[in-house]
A and B are shown apart, each in its own frame.
Chain A
Amino acid sequence: MTPLGCIAADACLFVLEEHGVFFSELRQELQVFNTPATFIWCCLEEGLGPSEAVAAYAETFGIDPAEAQRQVADMLHRWQGLGHVSGVEMEGASEIDLTTALGRLLANPALRRQHAESAVDVARALPLRASDMDAFLALDPAALEAEADLLRRRHLGMRDGSAAGDQAVPAALDRNAGLVELAARARARRGTPLTIAHCYSLLGTIVRIQLASAEAAAIVHPVLVHLEVREPGAVDAALDILEVESGWVLLEGIVPSGYCARLPDLAPLVKSAVRRIALNRHEYFLQIHAGVVSSGERCLILPAAAGSGKTTLTAALLRAGFAYFSDEYALLEQPDMRVRPVPLALTVKPGAAAVLASRYPELAQLAAHRREDEQTVRYLPPPQPLPPASRSLPVGWIVFPRYAPDAGTALRPIGRAEALQRLMRECLVLPEALERRGVEALVRWMREVACFELTMSDLDQAVRLVAQLCGTTGRDARG
């Protein structure tokens, strides 16, 4: 019996409830397959032949054999075109258009090599619709390679502004000077020594901040004071804040790493630098944009995009007795996806400040800072005591909060495959290339975690629902 096809060495699938989590190590592609696609992949893994697979597919999904043949063949040809499977010879696949064919060629180096050898054979195998044949055959293999290389370069960020060594452009009074030069001049003419120094600890990293201006210190220090360590054994990183002609330059060691023109912009810049330094020195598997609190010996993560009410809910849960881990970052660590605290001050935006005023009357007295994105924010120090940096906890619950003023407040369970997709949408950083072992651990972890969506219009009700979910009703939540 001829098998359906041969799975590429770098491709694999992990079943998660009714879905499959597909991973291609070579392409660093992670996606969730729907149930029919998962079924077909399982047929491939089990080495079924075409007729066997089509019969099983038709029976499982209750469709006629001809339609089953088409659907199975379409999926197999798609995977073959994208390089996940080879050796597919199944008849009955739908023809594809030129754009789809070009997408496959640009995504799959092996298909480009086959195209260079015989474009006609590739066109037949895809199969390409007849009306696009002339244009397809006219594609120049060298041009295809060049276009794929262009995409690769764009993908690597070779044309964006984030490349290492790129400095912000200061609003300098001396308009001929770049940031490095401004910083160097500030150092050279420094009459006032940087006499104010504080050390802060985040994720076990000790950062020393030095500056000369008491005015600047009064802005920056309150934002980090809860992380202060009085007698650090050793300093891991040094940040100097230098006043220059037109603003403030942040020096990380001897390298200028940030600039702002105005004092209200300084604290966000410094907080961001401390966070970046600590995260860069810490080993983790995934960084998820999420609020994190703990209840007992497990933590609850609240992944969501900005504006979803993540910080508001996190702050309100702290008042209900949960312990603080982070309002923005969930660091998942291998092998079992435990989460470590990143207890920076909570970033409260104007809308959230009003909602939280009854829980945190002190918010109104906190200084207003202006972030790079023009948002005016207040930094709310988290309640003490903070969890020790060494204390990681397993995740008990994932709740995706969504502020929806007209939708009522409700907590509903969601499928784990949907939850994984939503979680990965909030993935900020993948420090290392994904490997099969890591994806397998991620799926294994997802199988054990309860996943929910929380729509919120009433914060009190939302807190009650989450507290019930986590089996706590108030001040007893801290472990």
Chain B
Amino acid sequence: MALRMTSTPARVGIAYRPALASWIESRPPQCLEVAAEPFYKAGERQLRGLAALCPLVVHSTRLSLGTPGPIDPEELHWLARVVAAADPLWVSDHLGFSRTAEVDLGWTVPVVPGPESLAVVVSHVREVQEQLGRPFLVENVVHFLPTAGVRSEPELLNTLCRETGAGILLDLTALVVNARNHGFDPRRWLRDLALEHVAQLHVGGCALDGERWHDSHRDPVPDEVLELAAEVLRAAPVRAVILERDGRYPPPAALEAELGRLEALATEAASDAGSAQRPGDHA
């Protein structure tokens, strides 16, 4: 997908959840992200209704891009139906695998650092792009395993984008959670990332549980994530920022205030478009 810096602010929206339906309808955001799986077998009418409110982006969790062998044709079939009904700006899924030929893990595990992992993901991304006919983004995930082996995670994403033309859905909360758990500098990680590929941001809350941070999505977005969002928005051609909230919902005013803060960051970044800086350049 062709991306370039623009003075148009990134759209700010929220990940659609049923509990948010009435509020979203009363105050449509600038864009909405819909999870694909709940709409696999029903809900085309609802998707069309949501698409009438504002532009949609579709987020998948089931393609399992890192699994060797062919992509599950059934998953791709259902995703294609969702895409046809939602008419999204783009589609995204995670850099990882959620199942093998033997077991469904139920959630995405990072791509393992084998010699063929990049080739597997590249081949699958190309297939998805061809089948869906939409721009496709790949997202970084929260992980505890090493993710890249001979390549760092940013290098893996950069190479993947270069070879497939895919973009990056940069989950800043996942990045901060990984940085806190593994003790690395998220700005250094971002300096290694080819930011020209970043088309969308995910931001959400995180929480410390025992000794580990988790991307709970049930708390306000932490300042550290907002600061990184501001920096990335200035340096990358981000077209959408999506707030992920998965429970412990606050009153509408609090959600709107969070979206308002993100909108302000996006507007500010757009007005600074001529003087793009990479995250950490000021440090």
The chain A residues found within 8 Å of chain B, CB to CB, are 78, 81-82, 97-100, 102-104, 106-107, 131-132, 135, 138-140, 143-144, 146-147, 150-151, 153-155, 158-163, 165-172, 175-178, 181, 246-247, 259-261, 305-307, 372-375
B100/A99 in contact, CB under 8 A:
yes
> When chains A and B are docked, how far (Å) is the Cα of A168 from the Cα of B99?
32
B41 at the interface (CB under 8 A from A): yes
Residue of chain B at shortest CB distance from A146 = B144
Of B103-111, B155-163, B231-239, the one touching chain A: B103-111
Interface of B is mostly: loop
Give B contacts to A, CB under 8 Å: 17-23, 25-27, 41-43, 45-46, 49-50, 66-68, 97, 99-103, 105-107, 109, 112-117, 120, 142-146, 149, 212, 214-218, 245-256
B25, B97, B116, B149: which contacts A261 (Cβ < 8 A)? B25
Q: A143-B145, A166-B248, A261-B25 are in contact. Are A102 and B112 (CB under 8 A)?
A: yes
Is the Cβ of B249 less than 8 Å from the Cβ of A166? yes
Q: Which residues of A contact B212 (CB under 8 A)?
A: 146
Cβ-closest chain A residue relative to B120? A99
Q: When A and B form their complex, what is the total count of cross-chain residue pairs whose Cβ atoms lie within 8 Å? A: 177
User: What chain A residues lie within 8 Å of B217 (beta carbons)?
Assistant: 159
Question: Which of A82, A159, A176, A181: most chain B CB closer than 10 A?
Answer: A159
CA distance A342 to B60 in the complex (A): 35
- If A103-B103, A103-B105, A171-B252 are given as contacts, then 10 extra A-B residue pairs at C-beta distance below 8 Å, sorted by A number, are A98-B114, A99-B117, A103-B102, A150-B142, A153-B214, A161-B245, A161-B246, A166-B249, A169-B250, A374-B50
Partner of B103, one of A104, A161, A168: A104
Least distance between A178 CB and chain B CB atoms (Å): 5
Question: Across the interface, do A155 and B106 meet the contact criterion of CB distance under 8 Å?
Answer: yes
CA A259 to CA B21, docked complex, whole Å: 10
CB distance from A195 to the nearest CB of B (A): 27
Q: With contacts A100-B100, A166-B247 known, is A154 near B22, CB below 8 A?
A: no
Is A151 within 8 A of B255, CB to CB?
A: no
Determine whether the beta carbon of B106 is less than 8 Å from that of A154: yes
Instruction: Please pick, from B45, B143, B247, B250, the residue contacting A161 in the complex, using a CB distance under 8 A.
Output: B247
- Which residue from B27, B144, B253 sits with its C-beta under 8 Å from A143? B144
User: Which among A98, A135, A168, A307 is the interface contact of B19 at CB below 8 angstroms?
Assistant: A168
| Measured CA separation A198–B154 after assembly (Å) | 62
Interface pair B249/A135, CB less than 8 Å apart: no
Q: Tell me which of B20, B101, B113, B149 contacts A169 (CB under 8 A).
A: B20
